Structure 1
Amino acid sequence: MFLKIGELARRTGLTVRALRHYEDIGLLVPSQRSSGGYRLYDGKDVARLYRIQALRRLDLSLAEIQRLLDDAAGGLSDVVAQQVKQLDREIRQATALRAHLLAMQRQLQASEEPGLDDWLLALESMVAGAKYFSDDELRTLGARHGDAADATQAPQATDAVETRTRKRAALAASLRELVAAGASPESPQAQALARRWIDMLLEEAGGDEGLLIKLYTMHWNEPSLRALTGVDRAGIQYISHAMAYARLALYAPHCNADDMATLRRHYVGQTDAWPPLITEVRQQMLADASADGAPMRALAQRWRALSLAKAGGDAALDARLQHAFRNDPALRVGSGIDAPLAAYVQQAIARLDAPSNA
């Protein structure tokens, strides 16, 4: 059975112009021509067109699609699998959104008008999350919140969303009060709030330091989420500095008085530079990049310089701090650095000093 270009366009919803363009660039060339010169498309052509449209839905360019289709190893089954994966992602996002909307519906039925934060949270699960987390990570986060549950059968799912929203709002309000009162990030109140904030993020991340740093990065980069939490970049920075002061106190058992005096002068000043560096290093590690490759060597040099800077340039103190960090679990909690990342960085730094084989 053959289809002419007009019929193929009508039955697929594409335009004749688009099909002609596909032919012009060699992406979809009809198998035959009629005696009158009409383009004739057979079953194989239609199957190829399906693959083209499926790949277009994955936001691939026509040039990328051409390369994939020319690859003999790329079968139709793989394309369908990609579509199923995409649909699964959309279903999970829609399910999470549904759970939150049901919680909002309960508020409305109780004559309680949802606030701006509630409406913004409805967007969070559909927009920001997918930019920063893999499918597996989104499932982990969703499982922690109960978002993946069917809220009509498990009301605790909506309760979890409401509790999370109230917890965030309470912490944000406490933060604003501290800042308005001029409290230093070094104050006990600020340090206690920072610990509660990090504990909340770690709870969302299931204790995963890698997810924690992604949550931090997402909150830092996304204006909608800063509006959602009521915490702007200055607020996030305040929390980070307060947490640095809290962690500074944990180094006291590992340092003498002179060491601590040096740390108080230099340690907190390096705080803002760590999260983006940790994020970049983790991206290299997750990509299985060589610890001796050029990108990681550059990151290792930055890491070593930043580590030395927080010790005021004192190499001996820097070594003691690193030893304490490796051996004291309390220092690592909430840092965004887990054991695999630390080992990867140490391997890269060791390669910096290794003799060249060139």
Structure 2
Amino acid sequence: MFLKIGELARRTGLTVRALRHYDDIALLVPSERSSGGYRLYGRKDVARLYRIQALRRLDLPLADIQQLLDDDAGGLSEVVARQVAQLDDEILRASALRTHLLAVQGLLRASEEPGIDDWLLALESMVAGAKYFSDDEQRTLKTQRRGSADAMAPERAELSACLHSLVEAGASPESPQAQALAQRWIALLLEEAGGDEGLLMKLYAMHWNEPSLHALTGVDRAGIRYISHAMAFARLQLYAPYCSEEDMATLRRHYVAQTDAWPPLIAEVRQQMTAKAPTHGPAMRALALRWQALSLAKAGGDAALHAKLQQAFRQDATLRAGSGIDEALAAYVGQAIAQLGGTPALMNKPESPQ
């Protein structure tokens, strides 16, 4: 007994078009053809079709179904494993989305009349985190924020308002008020990062690059640069006990001018360190040369002054705090610099970016 394509379509709930497509890709080729060229499906064809439909319920691609049906020896374990992996990935994405939506829900409940822009900006800022932090790092940050969110929010708002007031008034980043603001700002970020200098640099990069965060915090790149320069002036004062008046005059001419170049360089070095790149490799060699040149430039090219800065940075914990350089990074880049051919001994230790 044979069934024509129309009758088979009616009995199985499929369309004639689908059955023709199965024939075209050799997934279900009818056993016979009538004298008029019509497709005729026999018992074995119908049995194969029901197997196809059963496998389709697993959302398997047609190519995988064909492989399974044509290869009785195996393939099923691999296909099922791939399906399980795909479902695991979908579960992770759904879980992450649920976490984002719950957080957004909390933000919306706290607002009397939330607008669509507020909703989207909040979601964008949460999604942005995945671009800069691993899952473990995001969990660390969330834990830190849960423990101090209520205390941080008013201080953040106060600092943001203070920043805008200083900028609008034309206050120099060198002013005492700007330096005090910068020190509080960095201390707050470092607290959010749990004291982790690597996370601090990632937070800096995220706040620098993401427009959604600029809109949410009210602090754009110009504001971030203002804070960074004010922090450089604040850190500069900490070198005074280690330097002569002439040294300090040199630093005032050159030190702050190098500020903007440090965060991306530190981020690149940390990326190499995280990837366990060899310190003698070409990538780290290039970064070490940049580090060496930038470090010396902020001392106005004065090797003796540069040595003083390095000594102070190693001895004074207040100089290292918030610099983005922890002991592991210092050792890593120091080793890379030491391996540069003809490197003077004084350059064998890295120095603070600020």
TM-score normalised by the shorter chain: which range applies? 0.7 to 0.9
In the TM superposition, what whole-angstrom CA distance separates every residue of 1:179-204 from its partner, at most 9, and x where no partner exists? 01000000011111111111111111
Partner of residue 11 from structure 1, selected from 45, 49, 57:
57
Whole-angstrom CA distance in 1 between matches of 2:48 and 2:176? 76
Tell me what 1:173 maps to. 161
Shift in CA distance, 117/351, structure 1 to aligned 2, threshold 3 Å: farther
* TM-superposed deviation, 1:162: 5.1
Q: Is the 8 A contact 1:169 1:230 kept in 2?
A: no
Tell me what 2:4 maps to. none
Whole-angstrom CA distance in 2 between matches of 1:206 and 1:284? 22
Q: What root-mean-square deviation, in Å, do the aligned CA atoms of Structure 1 and Structure 2 show?
A: 2.8
* SS of residue matched to 2:173: coil
Shift in CA distance, 163/117, structure 1 to aligned 2, threshold 3 Å: farther
Whole-angstrom CA distance in 1 between matches of 2:317 and 2:227? 21
* TM-superposed deviation, 1:120: 2.5
Tell me what 2:41 maps to. none
In the TM superposition, what whole-angstrom CA distance separates every residue of 1:187-237 from its partner, at most 9, and x where no partner exists? 011111111111111111001101000000011111111111111111110
In the TM superposition, what whole-angstrom CA distance separates every residue of 1:232-263 from its partner, at most 9, and x where no partner exists? 11111000000000000001111111110000
In the TM superposition, what whole-angstrom CA distance separates every residue of 1:323-342 from its partner, at most 9, and x where no partner exists? 11111100011111111101
Aligned length: 295
Q: Is the 8 A contact 1:117 1:227 kept in 2?
A: no
Partner of residue 323 from structure 2, selected from 327, 335, 339:
335
> Does 1:49 pair with 2:49?
no
Q: Is the 8 A contact 2:68 2:76 kept in 1?
A: no
* TM-superposed deviation, 1:29: 6.4
* TM-superposed deviation, 1:87: 4.3
* TM-superposed deviation, 1:53: 4.7
Aligned ranges 1:221-260 → 2 under 5 Å: 221-260=209-248
Tell me what 2:283 maps to. 295
Whole-angstrom CA distance in 2 between matches of 1:270 and 1:103? 39
Shift in CA distance, 301/117, structure 1 to aligned 2, threshold 3 Å: farther
In the TM superposition, what whole-angstrom CA distance separates every residue of 1:155-184 from its partner, at most 9, and x where no partner exists? xx7xx5455444333222211111010000
> Does 1:187 pair with 2:175?
yes
Partner of residue 30 from structure 1, selected from 67, 76, 82:
67
* TM-superposed deviation, 1:45: 3.3
Letter in 2 for 1:120: L
Whole-angstrom CA distance in 2 between matches of 1:304 and 1:253? 24
Whole-angstrom CA distance in 1 between matches of 2:94 and 2:137? 15
**TM-score, normalised with respect to structure 2:** 0.75
Shift in CA distance, 90/32, structure 1 to aligned 2, threshold 3 Å: closer
* TM-superposed deviation, 1:32: 5.0
Whole-angstrom CA distance in 2 between matches of 1:245 and 1:217? 21
> Does 1:281 pair with 2:289?
no
For structure 2, the residue ranges without an aligned partner over 5 or more in a row are 1-46, 344-354
**TM-score, normalised with respect to structure 1:** 0.74
> Does 1:352 pair with 2:353?
no
Tell me what 1:132 maps to. 132
Instruction: Flag the structure with larger Rg.
Output: 2
Tell me what 2:196 maps to. 208
Whole-angstrom CA distance in 2 between matches of 1:190 and 1:272? 17
Letter in 1 for 2:135: D
* TM-superposed deviation, 1:49: 2.7
Tell me what 2:300 maps to. 312
Letter in 1 for 2:75: D
* SS of residue matched to 2:278: coil
Whole-angstrom CA distance in 1 between matches of 2:191 and 2:251? 29
For structure 1, the residue ranges without an aligned partner over 5 or more in a row are 23-27, 34-39, 58-79, 147-156
In the TM superposition, what whole-angstrom CA distance separates every residue of 1:268-295 from its partner, at most 9, and x where no partner exists? 0000000000000000111111111110
Shift in CA distance, 312/93, structure 1 to aligned 2, threshold 3 Å: farther
Q: Is the 8 A contact 1:117 1:229 kept in 2?
A: no
